[in-house]
Structure 1
Amino acid sequence: MSDMTSTADAPRSPGRPRSVRADEAIIEATLDLLAEGSTIEALSIEAIASRAGVGKATIYRRWAGKDALLLDALRRLKGILPQPAGHSVRDDLVLLVGAVGHNIDPRAAKIMPCLVPEVNRSPDHFQLYQNIIEPRRQMMREVLRRGIRTGELRADLDVEVTMALLAGPMLIQRMLRWHPELDDLILPEKVVDAVLEGVRAR
């Protein structure tokens, strides 16, 4: 066993900070293996530990199991969701819609499309996806509800359906490149403006 593994796996005394370097190595190893074609089902703690250069015990001290580790790794892949300024419902929606399906990590282009069939096959993987995406939905939900309260949006607005109308076009375009001539830079504004035409207060 390497010195790094031995040091990482040594029992920690109370209060000793855990190694940020080991955390990073484990997350990166998980994403690399997924990007190289490993399915969630086939991905093992042993393989992650080997790629990261740590022992399995190092991983289990940080995460309760593979699903907890995957949750953190995929959250990292999606990046930090931008925070709405709260001044304009339209501007906040453009910001949030622009983040749908957008990932700064190039590995996402290989990982995210491959997760779709696994999410559909496995209730556990479906729940994992929901845990990742729900905070993003909640932020959009809050912007829409604020618009209802301020009178900018219809009082009878179906918030959940409106979120689907806003997110759907971005997902299909960014994951499948459904229409290669659509401009990704202005598409969020076009989607938001089209949906707002139907949901604005009259």
Structure 2
Amino acid sequence: MTQTTDQLSARPPGRPRSERADKAIVDATLDLLAEEGGVAGVSIEAVAARAGVGKTTIYRRWPNKEALIIDALAALKEPLIEPRGESVREDLIAWAKVFIADKSDKKRVDCYWSILSSAERYPELITRFNQEVIEPRREAIRQVLRRGIATGELRPDLDVELALWILTGTMAHRARASSAGPVPEDFAERVVDELIAGLGRH
């Protein structure tokens, strides 16, 4: 079938991106972060060699290794979920389960620690990581807590930031506590119920 001028002009300029190449590049970046123990162990040359692509292929997609690392870490995390909004309890449980899954994955944890260990040498990267990867997830939980205050499910004087730290800190610590055994299937529900018992209206 002959393509029209409009169809041809609708194509983005340049060679179309390859999803396979993108995945290979992201996977290579994450592998190097986990194996080399920090940002310094990642270079465009090393990523290109491991992914089996040319450096120009990477630079067409990312301007530098910092931008590549941020995107790779974002891809590694559990996807953002859309709260159903039926109850604060159900939404917090859903978020807690996502948090446990994220913190229970060894490769993810290794990559996150690699980033944190590089904080002094790469402060701007850490700032971007927090702003672009971590903060959107934390803000989503804050919104659930604020909605709970508005609907009367939670106390009107609730310290939202403290509640956020209690929830995420508990989940992260339990997920990493391998000596305690696997995380029980109902752990998220139990933690949220205990939290709400303390944060709800009395």
Task: Give the TM interval when normalised to the shorter protein.
Answer: 0.7 to 0.9
Is the contact made by 2:84 and 2:91 (CA closer than 8 Å) also made in structure 1? Answer: yes
Q: State the alpha-carbon separation in 1 of the partners of residues 65 and 113 from structure 2.
A: 20
**Superposition CA RMSD, Å:** 2.3
**Residue of structure 2 in register with 1:171 after alignment:** 172
CA deviations 1:134-180 (Å, max 9, x no partner) are: 11111111111111111111111111111001000111122343x60
Q: State the alpha-carbon separation in 2 of the partners of residues 52 and 15 from structure 1.
A: 21
CA deviations 1:173-197 (Å, max 9, x no partner) are: 22343x6057342221121112111
**Residue of structure 2 in register with 1:50 after alignment:** 49
| Structure 2: runs of 5+ lacking an equivalent | 1-11
Q: Mean alpha-carbon deviation: is it higher for 101-110 or for 83-92?
A: 101-110
Q: Residues 156 and 120 of structure 1: is their aligned pair in 2 closer, same or farther, counting only changes over 3 Å?
A: farther
**Residue of structure 2 in register with 1:89 after alignment:** 88
Instruction: Read off the aligned partner of 2:190 and give its amino acid letter.
Output: K
| Structure 1: runs of 5+ lacking an equivalent | 1-12
TM-score w.r.t. length of structure 1: 0.83
Superposition pairs of residues 138-157 of structure 1, within 5 angstroms? 138-157=139-158
Is the contact made by 2:29 and 2:69 (CA closer than 8 Å) also made in structure 1? Answer: yes
Residue 120 (structure 1) shift: 6.5
Secondary structure class of the residue paired with 2:157: coil
Secondary structure class of the residue paired with 1:86: coil
**Residue of structure 1 in register with 2:68 after alignment:** 69
Q: State the alpha-carbon separation in 2 of the partners of residues 193 and 45 from structure 1.
A: 46
Q: Residues 16 and 184 of structure 1: is their aligned pair in 2 closer, same or farther, counting only changes over 3 Å?
A: same
**Are 2:130 and 1:124 equivalent residues in the alignment?**
no
Q: State the alpha-carbon separation in 1 of the partners of residues 200 and 137 from structure 2.
A: 22
Q: State the alpha-carbon separation in 1 of the partners of residues 24 and 183 from structure 2.
A: 36
**Residue of structure 2 in register with 1:135 after alignment:** 136
Query: How many pairs are equivalent?
Result: 189
Is the contact made by 2:174 and 2:183 (CA closer than 8 Å) also made in structure 1? Answer: no
TM-score w.r.t. length of structure 2: 0.83
Q: State the alpha-carbon separation in 2 of the partners of residues 33 and 42 from structure 1.
A: 7
Secondary structure class of the residue paired with 2:101: coil
Q: State the alpha-carbon separation in 2 of the partners of residues 114 and 57 from structure 1.
A: 26
Secondary structure class of the residue paired with 2:176: helix
Is the contact made by 2:26 and 2:72 (CA closer than 8 Å) also made in structure 1? Answer: yes
Secondary structure class of the residue paired with 1:36: helix
**Residue of structure 2 in register with 1:3 after alignment:** none
Structure with greater helix share of residues: 2
Q: Residues 173 and 105 of structure 1: is their aligned pair in 2 closer, same or farther, counting only changes over 3 Å?
A: closer
Instruction: Read off the aligned partner of 1:183 and give its amino acid letter.
Output: V
Residue 94 (structure 1) shift: 0.6
Q: State the alpha-carbon separation in 1 of the partners of residues 76 and 121 from structure 2.
A: 22
